[in-house]
Amino acid sequence: MQDIVIIGGGLVGLCAALAMRHPQRQVTVIEAGNLEQAPSDGLNSRSIALSTSSVQIFRALGVWSRIEAKAAPIRHIHVSSRGRWGSTRLNARDYHLDALGYVIENSVLIRCLLEAVTDCDNIELRQNAGFESIRQEATVNIGYRYDEQTPTVEARLALIADGAQSRARAALGIGHQIVDYGQSVVISNVEVSRPKHDTAYERFTPEGPLAMLPLGDRRYACVWTLSPQKAALACAQDDVEFGAALQDYFGFRLGLVERVGKRFSMPILRTRADALQCGRCLLIGNAANALHPVAGQSFNLSLRDIACLYELLNEESLAELNDAAIAALAKQYEAQRVSEQNQVIRYGDGLVTLFSNQLPLFDHLRAAGLGLLDLVPALKAQAAFSGMGMTFGGNRLLRGHL
């Protein structure tokens, strides 16, 4: 009998395992893939932005020193609108911080978390184990596929962390809503001639936002929102054509775009589960909410799901929690997370509406809004702390300690 089983062993699942570990608990992670094979390929690697709230959580989990050594800090953020005068600049030193956030390659972060999980005697990671079934009675019984067999594992509590298209969520009968923004995101890494190692850029265009995030050396991660047709064209272009198009949209703040990596494109959808709990099963991460990338909040919001659950479980012995206690905990988790998730969704959708609308009136509103934000410290601070994930209340993990 396991205390907690986590379905999905990606970034969110591994972080949840580290947060849920306790000397009196046994935690099992079921992951369909092989995490040791996560590729790291220079210009072709995928990356992720970590907010200040996420840094605090990693610090509390005791893994930040591993991550920090391999992450690129963001100390300055420059926000602008293409073809308009308004802009806003955020600086970490204005808020007495070393950095506003960090950027790290997904594969590098996975390896850091894997090392930490491997060091924990009470966390078991079962890889190449594809989810098959889930059944709830007095406990949760989870079936998975491994080496042409279908073993089961029994647990007192299950966390569902297998992504936006969660099979476990569907098996529980929890529906989900999908918002199609009619946009696609193109992701690529580039090398530039005049890097500003600790500066990130968010440039809003009529098609959608274009983010340039520092990866260290001369590399930047490009996250470019376009119409589906233009995204397909960008992926079909050769390196020279894509570099020229990016240069035209972004400008020369980083000098010349000298090299580009492979392009990846995917439609932008916001997925939201109809419920965050069912019996002894709780949804976390993208299985609960998958967001528009405009504010870079999806993974950071997922970590705050974990921080909330950590606070609710506290030092509880799951063996002592009956069905009624588990049900009360699950409802409390859902109530607390829905409140913040609604705020983050409204924030992201508001940015999409304001900065992806091509009506002439919105051009003037964008310029005026960015200019006003830069001139009013209180508004700028609110925007900065929202982006850092530090405006949603606190708990022990968000304060950086267990």
- Is residue 381 over pLDDT 60? no
23-36 tens-digit pLDDT: 888 999 999 999 88
Question: Would strands 87-91 and 140-145 be described as parallel, antiparallel, or unpaired?
Answer: unpaired
The pLDDT tens digits for 246-269 are 999 898 999 999 999 999 998 988
State the Cα–Cα distance between residues 249 and 324, nearest whole angstrom.
56
Tell whether the model's pLDDT for residue 350 goes beyond 70: no
Highest-pLDDT range among 180-184, 229-233, 372-376: 229-233
Distance in angstroms (rounded) separating the CA atoms of residues 225 and 210:
6
Residue 122, pLDDT score = 92
Q: Which amino acid is at 220?
A: Y
Instruction: Give me 366's structure tokens.
Output: 């964008």
pLDDT higher than threshold 70 for residue 41: no
Flag whether pLDDT at 69 surpasses 90: yes
Predicted confidence (pLDDT) at residue 382 exceeds the cutoff of 80 = no
Amino acid letter, residue 306: I
Q: Taking all residues of the chain, what is their mean pLDDT, rounded to a whole number?
A: 86
Domain boundaries, the chain: 2-178+269-387
Cα–Cα dist 103/187, whole Å: 14
pLDDT value for 376: 47
Contact criterion met (CB below 8 Å) for 4 and 310: no
Specify the 3-state DSSP secondary structure of 354. Answer: helix
Report the CATH fold assignment for 2-178+269-387.
Answer: FAD/NAD(P)-binding domain (3.50.50)
Residue 87 parent element (H or E):
strand 87-91
Query: Cβ contacts of residue 342 below 8 Å, gap of 6+?
Result: none
Residue 378 pLDDT grade (very low, low, confident, very high; cuts 50, 70, 90): very low
CB atoms within 10 A of CB 59: 17
Distance CA 128, CA 35 (A): 9
- DSSP notation for 133-148: EEEESSSEEEEEEBTT
Question: The tokens of 116 are what?
Answer: 């930490």
Among 277-281, 288-292, 342-346, the range with the most confident prediction by mean pLDDT is 277-281
* pLDDT interval class at 10 (50, 70, 90): very high
Indicate the SS3 state at residue 82.
coil
pLDDT at 237 over 90: yes
Q: What is the structure's pLDDT at 96?
A: 86
Is 352 a residue whose pLDDT tops 80?
no
pLDDT > 50? residue 43? yes
Share of the chain above pLDDT 90, in %: 56
Token pair listed for 44: 């072709």
Q: How confident is the model at residue 380 (pLDDT cuts 50, 70, 90)?
A: very low
Stretch 143-160: mean pLDDT, rounded? 93
**pLDDT per residue as tens digits for the range 15-25:** 999 999 988 88
Least confidently predicted of 52-66, 159-173, 241-255, 347-361: 347-361
Mean pLDDT calculated for residue range 270-297: 88
Give me the pLDDT at residue 224, please.
92
The rounded distance, in Å, linking the Cα atoms of 4 and 26 is: 7
Six token digits for residue 160: 């569902």
Range in 103-107, 112-116, 341-345 the model is least confident about: 341-345
Residue pair 274/174 in contact (Cβ under 8 Å)? The answer is yes
Query: Would you say residue 6 has pLDDT above 80?
Result: yes
